Structure 1
Amino acid sequence: MGSDSNRVAALVSKWALEFKVRYMGVSSFFLRIETVQLATGLLLSQQRYLKDILKRAGMVDCKPVATPVSSAKPVEGPVVPYADPTHYRSLAGALQYLTVTRPDLSYAVNRLCQHMHAPTTADWAGLKRVLRYVNGTLNLGLHISCSESLDIHAYSDSDWAGNPDDRKSTSGFAVFLGKNLKSWVCRKQQTVARSSTEAEYKGLADVSVEVTWLVSLMQEMEFPVISAPKLWCDNLGATYLCANPVFHARTKHIEIDYHFVRDKVAKNELQVHFISTKDQIADIFTKPLSSLRFNTLRHKLNVLASQPCA
């Protein structure tokens, strides 16, 4: 699909010289992803798949909630194994595929999947909350529209020592091409960070790899990147560390792999800038948020409701 029908037809003709191609009309439903035509572009929706998951869980008529993860501190209590771990794994795995079009679920699903091996009743309660949130947001999807700009900009954030069990940090990033969200990630870091600066620096290294791949892909598709991609981070220490190696004595313990981003900045292939926490879009991938904050960031990720054009 594309905004230029002539270029789309030319590309399909080239494919036909190498592969067997059959035109099946305008895409509407593929790999359980529905494309909804809007006046402002396309909406990628998995509403049918969502309803199937709710039916499997027996929660079609459950009461909706405003956020997938509660922002309140969990109540300490005895650890009780969940009676049917296979059922838990099946539903958590199904929710993973939802993050293809629902980046707002990334943090919640990441937390659920960390307990696949031995889920507890508390984990099951968390999974049911995600399903309740899903039930109230069935009409949401990822919005894609025409963009005059091909500039790449990314937001990176980390929640330092946010995991109470092993004190590892959670990183997340969102990469935009123009005004469209192209890729996003929420993951727990592999090692324990000794400071918030180190946790943020590791997160910047991860997003710089993703951005480098995207630049390479665009060049291969003959879409040259005019300006260096911009990375936005809400930690001043991490932004300074990317551009200035004066903190060498404090960073000897950081693995060499994470200094990849510093090398990119030195070559002017990336720009790292500071952004205030209130404007940090990737905040939604690293921690539980209030409903007001969550809804604001969800909208900035272009997760919108379907409103078919007349």
Structure 2
Amino acid sequence: MLFSLAVSNSWTLRHLDVHNAFLNGRLAETVYMKQPPGYENLAHLGHVCHLQRSLYGLKQAYRAWFKRLHDFLLSAGFSSSKTDVSLFHFTSGSSRVFVLDYVDDIIMMGNDVALVNSLLQRLATAFKIRDLGTPGFFLGIETILVNGGLILSQWRYMTDLLNRFGMVDCKPLATPTAVTQVVTPSSQPCEDPTQYHRIVGALQYLTITRPDLSYAVNRLCQFMHSPTIDHWGLVKRVLRYIKGTLDYGLRVSASSSADIHAFSDSDWAGCPIDRKSTSGYAVFLGSNLISWLSRKQRTMARSSTEAEYKALADVLVEVTWVVSLLQELGLHSGQPSTLWCDNLGATYLCANPVFHARTKHVKIDYHFVRDKVASGDSVVNFVSTKDQLADIFTKPLPGPRFAALRDKLNVVAHQHCA
């Protein structure tokens, strides 16, 4: 979301690395350590070290470092976000600076270059900071500058993934899931369940920049407890799709609009095992995709309308969180968020209290959608199925349909640096 705002408003972006970050943390707990080999005190061989600062490998190291950084940023005039604990923001008049912290990797961005440099110098007085300039490779994600924006790519990660699991020379496929293949329990267990766990776990991180993989990976995660030979075949199909789309990434382009709109969809009773539905949504800030999800619903829906209504509730939770974060940062446009649903019954249910008698069995927490619509915070509109972008998160799709929706989600090909 912040990348989208930075590109749209031409903000300055800086990638910072903290040298030996954990050694900066001060321990609040009492922790003792054996004297390290080669540094024993011969006069007190039975003594131990009382640690004052955190070390790599300590359970307290992450929290101690973050507290040290948190306290310093607050003393420098930053405010800690209540919506996202890893985000800090600084405001001085019309100037704004944001700091995103991921352990020892930090991204700083703002609309005032002089203020960004000033705060960076102040940060360097407390910690050993390395300024890496414009983000290029951050947490395994490559940031590629293109005309009018940037592309977030995990090309290196995908290449390493294929190398690790011996799929470098596999035949590429156009889609990660087959339309005709039904996933059912098999009597033949997978020969190496641990390998299955490793691959699926690695694929989850890939969905950060590849929303087109969300449905396939979500389906694979449902069989982690007892994978079978059939499930192993599904994993290999996903890897073959990745082989054919190594040069794809998520595009973030300049957008003139800062309005929030989201697409919500559900595949009613799509799972042949438990007949539960799969929800999916895509949240856009202007023209940029900032949040997406593919997830099986926790309870069984008695109708397609109910399944779609639950999916609307899921996306509205996410939209509410995004709106609260933008309001906290003073960047919300003030316009109500727009939700698009391809089920007329669910659309009417959001505003028409006459439907109460038919939905007494629906959990009350799903009905907060009505409250949001009634208060004017959100608007639920109908969209035809062919224009429903969230369709890609709920079911397997044929190649042309899948490729069309993938393009609309801003997953595009790019030129990468080997």
TM-score range, shorter chain: over 0.9
One-letter amino acid of the structure 1 residue matched with residue 337 of structure 2: P
Match of 1:96 in 2: 204
Match of 1:268 in 2: 376
Give, in angstroms, the shift of residue 178 of structure 1. Answer: 0.3
Matched, 1:171 2:275: no
Match of 2:11 in 1: 4
Select 1:34's aligned residue among 104, 128, 142.
142
Structure 1: unaligned runs, 5 residues or longer: none
Give, in angstroms, the shift of residue 182 of structure 1. Answer: 0.4
Deviation string 1:2-49 (CA, Å, 9 cap, x unpaired) is 313472532464466577454221111011100111123101000110
Aligned mates of 2:269, 2:296 — CA distance in 1: 10
Native 8 Å contact 2:210 2:250 kept in 1: yes
Aligned mates of 2:352, 2:311 — CA distance in 1: 17
Aligned mates of 1:115, 1:71 — CA distance in 2: 19
Q: Which of the two has greater strand per residue? A: 2
Match of 2:267 in 1: 159
Aligned mates of 2:256, 2:380 — CA distance in 1: 23
Deviation string 1:171-214 (CA, Å, 9 cap, x unpaired) is 00000000000000000000000000000000000100111111
Matched, 1:220 2:334: no
Aligned mates of 2:185, 2:415 — CA distance in 1: 44
Aligned length: 309
Q: TM-score, normalised by structure 2?
A: 0.71
RMSD after superposition: 1.8
Native 8 Å contact 2:389 2:405 kept in 1: yes
Matched, 1:140 2:248: yes
Aligned mates of 1:192, 1:225 — CA distance in 2: 37
Residue 259 to residue 141, structure 1, CA distance change in 2 (3 Å): same
Residue 121 to residue 30, structure 1, CA distance change in 2 (3 Å): same
Residue 12 to residue 252, structure 1, CA distance change in 2 (3 Å): farther
Partner of 1:148: helix, strand, or coil?
Answer: coil
Deviation string 1:147-170 (CA, Å, 9 cap, x unpaired) is 110010000000000000000000
Residue 260 to residue 17, structure 1, CA distance change in 2 (3 Å): farther
Give, in angstroms, the shift of residue 146 of structure 1. Answer: 0.9
Residue 129 to residue 8, structure 1, CA distance change in 2 (3 Å): farther
Aligned mates of 1:71, 1:249 — CA distance in 2: 37
Structure 2: unaligned runs, 5 residues or longer: 13-109
Partner of 2:144: helix, strand, or coil?
Answer: strand
Q: TM-score, normalised by structure 1?
A: 0.95
Structure 1 outlier segments of 4+, above 6 Å: none
One-letter amino acid of the structure 2 residue matched with residue 280 of structure 1: Q
Match of 1:126 in 2: 234
Aligned mates of 1:184, 1:85 — CA distance in 2: 28
Native 8 Å contact 1:170 1:187 kept in 2: yes
Matched, 1:63 2:182: no
One-letter amino acid of the structure 2 residue matched with residue 248 of structure 1: H
What percent identity do the matched residue pairs reach?
62
Matched, 1:251 2:258: no
Match of 1:105 in 2: 213
Native 8 Å contact 1:38 1:307 kept in 2: no
